[in-house]
Amino acid sequence: MEDNQIKNNSNESQKASANYDVVIIGGGPAGSTAAIYAARSGLKTLVVDKGLTSGALGITSKIVNYPGIVEEISGAQLVEKMREQAKLFGAEYISDKVIGVDLQSETKSIFGNGGVYNSRFVIISTGSMGRGVRIQGEDRLLGHGVSYCATCDAAFYRNKDVVVAGNTDEAIEEALFLTKYANQVYFLSQTERLAAPQELVETLKNHPKVILYAGTKLKEIIGENRVEAVLAVQSDQHEVLLSVSGAFVYLQGGRPVTDFIQGQLEVSQSGCLIVDSSFQTSIPGVYAIGDVLCTHVKQVVVSAAEGAIAAMAIEKEINGRSRMMVDWSEKKQ
């Protein structure tokens, strides 16, 4: 056992000291798809990831709308399939937490607890589960009625009652999307005034399926194996108990996980990374995909597409070609 541990540690150290063509931070659907395309194109590719179930998809219990996957599948199973495919093309995965980066130099450095990973190009796909303040019961029931994506999970709550907590335009749009499926949508805004365009607020208020609780804070999410109810507190300290099957949480804007960047990249007011049409950030050679983007639609297939585009853009840059390769199996020009 000790010999194996020493061997494993030696392997990790070798990875940490090696130089790569591209290092991908985050191994969810966006990052793993980027790894598939990058590795298949012959780029030396490393994915640094905290673990299979560390991201939003990894803790999703059911996915039924991913193209080509007919059977019901869990998020973790789908991510694992993507990772295995990436590994078949030569991508390497390492379990580590990124604590800092140096993106200013031509050779980028990614600092993890296990070492430093150097590369010419970096793809950031760390997701948006970075909210610090948690609701009682939220972590325990995440994936079992607690969700951060109505467009992903709304169909599971057909003819059921759900609650949405938040006060932003994202929260309102997600609540309105839920009305297509749910029987009743309780909208809890922690502030009396919603931080969204007035037209959108009026649409929410006037929707027959929505009951708005302004100045009401979500206090607890209740349930044994699944969400059964939520406890909320109004501004006058009056408590409200709502029987629901799902709780969709959009508090503090669901800020992306970008703390390790330490201000090196341009971000929006919501803390999302700003990219161009090829998903390159304000620093050449650094790309961002998935839920770290404000304009990103939170669907697995969209994240995968962004990963493919970013990887093709990097391959184009490395090989000095005038256009992206449509298919890696084509003869390179």
Just list the catalytic residues: 149, 152-153
Amino acid letter for position 110 = I
119 within 8 A of 108, measured Cβ to Cβ: yes
Output DSSP code: residue 91.
-
Distance CA 111, CA 103 (A): 11
Distance CA 267, CA 254 (A): 14
228 within 8 A of 243, measured Cβ to Cβ: yes
Query: How far from each other are the two terminal CA atoms of the chain, in whole angstroms?
Result: 50
Question: 328 to each of 27, 82, 230, how far by Cα in Å?
Answer: 21, 17, 50
* Contacts for 198 with CB less than 8 Å, ≥ 6 apart: none
Give me the residues paired with residue 142 across strands: 146
Distance CA 246, CA 273 (A): 29
SS3 state of residue 225: coil
147 within 8 A of 49, measured Cβ to Cβ: no
221: nearest Cα among 188, 175, 268: 188
